Amino acid sequence: MNQMKHVALLIETSREYGRGLLRGVTRFHREHGNWSIYFKPQGLRDRAPTWLSEWKGDGILARIDSCHTADSVLKTGLPVIDLRGVLPDLGVPEIGIDNRALAKLVLQHLLDRGLRNFAFCGDRPGRNRWSDQRREMFRQAVESAGFRCHEFSNRRRMPSWEYEQEQITQWVKQLPQPVGVMASNDDLGQQVLDACLRADVHVPDEVALIGVDNDPYLCNLTLPPMTSVDVNSERIGYEAAKLLDRLMLGCKPPKLPVYLEPAQVVMRQSTDTIAVDDLEVATVVRFIRDHACEGITIEDAFAKVLVSRSTLTRRFKALLQRTPMAELTRVRLQKARQLLLETDLGIAQVAARSGFSEAKYLITVFHQTFGVTPGAFRKTSA
């Protein structure tokens, strides 16, 4: 048996992202670890324990959120993985979210709703590196798609939460409608949805909002419930534990930060809209999204409207940049990805539950679309 390693986990339990990291560390520990773990529930900005400078441990996984915590952790001289990434140039390995992939995923979700106006609400510029990255990446993605991104651009510290809410409310009122809004995290997503209530702006038909982190408490606290991105923090925690284990065995650290792609958009009512003026197209889109996984055919969808197949296809492509058949396949693939991530179902069962006629067809289409087989996707995303 390998010699037991003593590991400190300085990770908050107050947020879903931190709890996901801990689930990932737990999974690695059960599968491979021989660790004695120091851990206690804490908040994100809690200070590192005072005994850390005297601790004779072997490694640390930390969400480094302040210079004080950074100093305390780095002075130990132990292998450290930073799971926060807000302080640059710490000289330790960093593992986190691929914000470019995140921004593209969010934009595609909003584009799929038929939206053509976009906005971003994040922290005060300069306050958090990750929020600044998401703002910039989302703006770039929107502009690359040929649209403009409206930003909540308060440049100074807010004196109170109520004052900040009033500023966000005024910003929401000025946005072009209908608009798709990305919030840099679920906390700010909740604030934007609250601002919509204050401004008497209807969600999702006038403002469709998507947050980040998929915190079930926040997402279901809002009116309406908030769509959010599952960033797969459990996988990030698992990979961080795996890397720390290697570092404690004397392996060299990676030269560059490790950024992992988010898992999926978890859709709730805050983006449940079809923002197109064409009634026939909207009818077909809604039918496909409601019934795609029930074994329907594309002819079933066309039968819902009284226009020719060629005419509807032309109008569909003009509004959504894809054909009705491509939309049917997209919705089924989205369901298949969700089942691969969230269940242990076999590929044949995943195919059946996502509306594909057979497993072989799912495997072919999945590989053509994502560049990997369903089995490989499940393995690398676990």
Of 99, 179, 101, 183, residue with least CA distance to 147: 179
Q: Please give the model's pTM, rounded to 2 decimal places.
A: 0.87
pLDDT in tens, 149-190: 999 977 677 788 898 899 999 999 999 999 999 999 999 999
Contact by Cβ (8 Å): 180, 210: yes
Supply the DSSP symbol for 78.
Answer: S
Domain 5-97+233-262 has CATH 3.40.50.12160: no
Mean residue pLDDT of the chain comes to: 93
pLDDT of 1 over the 60 cut: no
pLDDT in tens, 345-357: 999 999 999 999 9
pLDDT value of position 2: 61
Give the residue, 271 or 50, on which the prediction is more confident.
271
The two tokens of residue 38 are 């120091």
pLDDT in tens, 237-246: 999 999 999 9
The two tokens of residue 298 are 């594309």
CATH architecture of 279-381: Orthogonal Bundle (1.10)
pLDDT of 343 over the 70 cut: yes
Distance CA 234, CA 320 (A): 33
Lowest mean per-residue pLDDT among 90-94, 127-131, 155-159, 329-333? 155-159
Of 378, 284, 270, 279, residue with least CA distance to 324: 284
Domain ranges of the chain: 5-97+233-262, 99-232+265-271, 279-381
Q: Alpha-carbon torsion 232, 237, 240, 245, what sign?
A: negative
Whether 5-97+233-262 and 99-232+265-271 share one fold: the answer is: yes
Domain 99-232+265-271 has CATH 3.40.50.2300: yes
Distance CA 360, CA 370 (A): 15
Q: What residue spans of the chain are helical by DSSP H?
A: 16-31, 67-74, 99-112, 129-144, 161-174, 186-199, 216-221, 233-248, 279-291, 298-302, 309-320, 324-342, 347-353, 359-370, 374-381
